[in-house]
């Protein structure tokens, strides 16, 4: 991987949409992106959480973000299309899209996996990402350096017993990334990748591993340099790759 020193490059004037921006990694990346100069579109299910992130950004006199409440479990294609048109009309382009929001669901054997849980997990983790990306592509294509970043998992790259629909949804996420990357490789300036954040101190991790001491895990904030790099112009050489955040962190300059 070449020249990760550009990880510190500013995101000034870039328009970046982050799903799941009210909590965990999404919240941390939203704050870090704003501090790097980006105008952030905060998308999430709970308006109160988004408003708290909005207030933190505004309190630091950073570019004023946009709040867009949306429940990915129930959002319709018309809502995604409206989001795409609104961004296009307000900003004229979209420079970055981070698909961060996911649901874990209950873990257990496939034989006993509840069908309704399967449907919800696939709706949020796969269908929503597909429909949102489709609706936002016209705005992304207007950027001179568009970025689409899908959130994956180790269980989306190697199957693991009892991880059920979540694991399947992350395999589908990797497939969606690969298909989109192949389509856009020679036709646009958009770069598409997936990122596995690994074990991180989040509510989802605590739900999956309730006996684990969260203080032994990296914080979402400690991962943000990689996200800033991947959402910026300096990552143009990365495309169609299944990236691992731990490996990338070791390649960032030690001053980050």
- Which of 54, 80, 162, 166 is the catalytic position? 166
Exposed/middle/buried for residue 145 (C-beta within 10 Å: 0-12, 13-18, 19+): middle
Rounded CA separation 94/139 (Å):
5
Residue 166 annotated in active site: yes
DSSP class of 39:
E
Chain position carrying tokens 């709040």: 67
Q: Decide the pairing of beta strands 96-99 and 15-19.
A: parallel
Structural tokens at position 100: 């961060």
Asked if residues 94 and 143 have their Cβ atoms less than 8 Å apart, the reply is: yes
Structural tokens at position 233: 């112009």
Sequence-separated (6 or more) residues with CB below 8 Å from residue 107: 162, 163, 164, 166, 208
Tell me the catalytic residues.
166
């Amino acid at each position: 991987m070449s020249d990760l020193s550009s990880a510190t490059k500013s995101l000034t004037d870039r328009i970046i949409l982050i799903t799941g921006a009210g909590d965990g990694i999404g919240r941390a990346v939203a704050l870090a992106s704003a501090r790097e100069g980006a105008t952030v579109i905060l998308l999430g299910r709970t308006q109160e959480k988004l408003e708290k992130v909005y207030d933190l950004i505004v309190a630091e006199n950073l570019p004023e973000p946009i709040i867009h409440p949306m429940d990915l479990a129930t959002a319709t294609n018309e809502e995604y299309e409206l989001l795409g048109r609104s961004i296009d009309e307000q900003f004229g382009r979209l420079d970055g899209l981070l698909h961060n929001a996911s649901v874990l669901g209950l873990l257990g054997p496939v034989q006993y996996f509840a069908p309704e849980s399967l449907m919800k997990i696939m709706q949020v983790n796969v269908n929503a990402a597909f429909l949102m990306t489709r609706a936002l592509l016209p705005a992304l294509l207007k950027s001179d350096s568009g970025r689409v970043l899908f959130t994956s998992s180790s269980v989306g790259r190697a199957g693991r017993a009892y991880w059920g629909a979540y694991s399947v949804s992350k395999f589908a996420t990797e497939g969606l990334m690969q298909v989109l990357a192949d389509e856009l490789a020679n036709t646009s300036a958009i770069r598409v990748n997936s990122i596995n954040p690994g074990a991180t101190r989040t509510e989802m991790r605590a739900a999956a591993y309730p006996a684990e001491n969260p203080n032994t895990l990296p914080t979402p904030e400690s991962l943000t340099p990689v996200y800033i790099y991947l959402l910026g112009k300096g990552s143009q050489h990365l495309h169609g790759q299944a990236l691992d955040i731990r490996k990338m962190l070791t390649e960032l300059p030690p001053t980050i």
